[in-house]
């Protein structure tokens, strides 16, 4: 069997930046998981004494606090400032952009539509920047636009990890129904690249392994895309979840990884597959 890595996969710019920031602030504490990868969080804890506060009341006034890549709600950031915490902002710049857009557009009198998962920390943070929360709406598809009390002027942004084609469906419906629609492309370029690379590889693969956190939005999107082209696509967080039966009789195993998946976990998965089945070649797509 041959193992082929996607031409683009794994750590994106924002995650690399956040990991570097955390490593430079040994002994600090992150508010919420820094990224959606438990193994990397544990590495930071064990190697750099990076703590984790799951709830706001777990943060003491003298804690140095690293803001997660997904950002946090505006009011909580203000509370940290009031407590005089040492704030280390690792929010991905691609996430900061929709926060700023929502703040500006709501100030200018636009209804805000955010395309994404309302329960995702990134979206909770983005929506919090609206001047009037009653005039900001989160939708996961175009059907959820029905009946929303939107003004004639609408501004729309997307969660950084959503599929562009799904975003366009929401945008098209808004354009047909409203006098003025301001559309902002806030989907991350790294997401485009990883998704396109995974799709191309999945078309040829007999089995696809997508590596990443089970709670990672972009990893779940990758798995969904791979499943479209390769029915035998599996999402694993690390090598412990691999099943040898997946590779029986297969000629090509494709591998992709989410934006929060470090190279060392990818390598562990490759090593484990090589122990489970005879592998003739490991290569990366052009």
- Give burial (CB, 10 Å; 0-12/13-18/19+) of 237: buried
CATH 3.40.50.11270 residue spans of the chain: 13-91
CATH number for the segment(s) 94-183: 3.40.1010.20
Q: pLDDT band at 4, cuts 50/70/90? A: very high
Confirm or reject CATH 2.60.120.10 for domain 2-9+189-284, answering yes or no.
no
CATH number for the segment(s) 13-91: 3.40.50.11270
What pLDDT, in 10s, does the model give residues 51-95? 999 999 999 999 999 999 999 999 999 999 999 999 999 999 999
Q: Mean pLDDT over all residues of the chain?
A: 95
The encoded tokens of residue 58 equal 């777990």
CATH 3.40.1010.20 residue spans of the chain: 2-9+189-284, 94-183
CB neighbours of 27 closer than 8 A, spacing ≥ 6? 48, 49, 50, 51, 64
User: What pLDDT does 163 receive?
Assistant: 84
Which residue in the list 76, 82, 107, 122 is annotated as catalytic?
A: 122
Catalytic, 122? Answer yes
Angle between helices 93-107 and 13-23 (to 10 degrees): 110
Output the CA torsion sign for 230, 6, 43, 24: negative
What pLDDT, in 10s, does the model give residues 241-270? 999 999 999 999 999 999 989 999 999 999
């Amino acid at each position: 069997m041959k193992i082929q890595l996607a031409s683009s996969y794994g750590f994106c710019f924002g995650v690399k930046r956040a990991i570097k920031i955390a490593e430079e602030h040994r002994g600090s504490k992150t508010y919420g998981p820094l990224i959606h990868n438990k193994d990397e969080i544990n590495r930071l804890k064990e190697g750099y004494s990076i703590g984790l506060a799951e709830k706001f009341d777990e943060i003491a006034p003298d804690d140095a606090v690293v803001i997660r890549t997904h950002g946090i709600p505006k009011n909580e950031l203000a509370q940290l400032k009031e407590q005089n915490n040492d704030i280390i902002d690792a929010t991905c710049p691609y996430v900061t952009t929709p926060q700023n857009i929502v703040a500006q557009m709501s100030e200018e009198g636009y209804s805000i539509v955010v395309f994404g998962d309302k329960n995702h920390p990134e979206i909770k943070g983005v929506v919090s920047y609206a001047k009037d929360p009653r005039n900001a709406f989160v939708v996961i598809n175009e059907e959820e636009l029905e009946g929303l009390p939107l003004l004639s002027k609408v501004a729309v942004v997307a969660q950084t990890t959503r599929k562009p084609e799904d975003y366009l469906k929401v945008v098209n419906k808004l354009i047909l129904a409203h006098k003025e629609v301001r559309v902002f492309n806030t989907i991350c370029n790294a997401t485009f690249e990883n998704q396109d690379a995974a799709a191309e590889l999945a078309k040829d693969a007999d089995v696809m392994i997508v590596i990443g956190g089970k709670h990672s939005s972009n990893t779940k999107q990758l798995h969904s895309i791979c499943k479209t082209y390769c029915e035998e696509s599996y999402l694993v967080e690390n090598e412990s979840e691999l099943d040898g039966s997946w590779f029986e009789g297969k000629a090509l195993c494709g591998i992709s990884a989410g934006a929060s998946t470090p190279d060392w976990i990818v390598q562990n998965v490759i090593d484990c597959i090589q122990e489970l089945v005879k592998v003739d070649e490991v290569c990366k797509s052009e």
